[in-house]
Amino acid sequence: MMLPKLATPKYDMIVPSTGETVTYRPYVVKEEKLLLIALESQSNEAIENAVVDIIKLCVETPINVNSLTTFDVEFIFVNLRAKAVGEGIKVNPSCEHCEEKSEQKINLDKVIVKGLEEDIDMRVKLTDDISVDINWPTMSNKLTEEDMKTGTDTLINMVARSIGTIYSGEEVFTASDSTKKELVEFVESLGTDQFNALIDKVSEAPQLSYDLKYKCKACKKDNTIELKGLIDFFQ
């Protein structure tokens, strides 16, 4: 006997970095299972992979999820989550004053992408002749947990993966036409001030943000805490 199928509502949202409107449905139990398994692993990389898989299943408009910026993916998933299980989620921040943890509820409808303004200058001038265009990290070129284990090399890899184009006089070198090794060697050849200028630009990447204000039940003092990035909303 054919069992009935429940109608799934559909919604539209605007992808922050592109302005493109996409149609999506809330995730259902079989997809939430992917997320729960990832959460149990306590691996940020597993959580991010589960989020990408869920987006691929739930967004009906054809998009290349791996080419989206990390903040696009985080924003899309927050919307999927809000429609699937409700706008309210519970977090357990530590008090700024006494470090006591307390359960707080936040509204996902109030989560914004912070730092995404129009006409952002992505070019960094290194010398009179050499400049670099920085790209925001995407799901395909973000740092992995393996990268994070390499200490000093982590920053070098982060900067190398964020390079979009290098300008040297009249010559133009695109990252897509360069190898990872070539980009890393270019970064390693920079002076400290030049390297720090690129780090500062990469660090300006937009991210999810929510200002949580609450009074600690233990010490009775007011707190204002900014939750940033997808992982903060799962702590």
Q: Where are the domains of the chain?
A: 11-115+207-232, 123-203
* Interval 142-169: pLDDT, tens: 655 555 555 557 788 889 989 999 999 9
Say what the pTM is.
0.80
Cβ neighbours for 102, distance < 8 A, ≥ 6 positions apart: 92, 93, 95, 214, 216, 217, 218
Spatial contact of 71 and 228, defined as CB atoms under 8 Å apart: no
Counting beta carbons within 10 angstroms of the beta carbon of residue 224, is it exposed (0 to 12), middle (13 to 18) or buried (19 or more)? exposed
Band of pLDDT at residue 233, cut at 50, 70 and 90: confident
Taking CA atoms, 97 is separated from 89, 100, 226, 235, in Å, by: 24, 8, 15, 19
Q: What is the DSSP letter of 192?
A: H
Residue 205 has a pLDDT of 84
> Residue 223: CA atoms inside 13 Å, Cβ hemisphere, count?
23
Residue 142 has a pLDDT of 65
**Residue bearing the bigger pLDDT, 153 or 90:** 90
Residue 48 has a pLDDT of 86
* Interval 92-140: pLDDT, tens: 899 999 999 999 998 988 888 988 866 678 899 999 999 999 998 888 7
Residue 185 has a pLDDT of 95
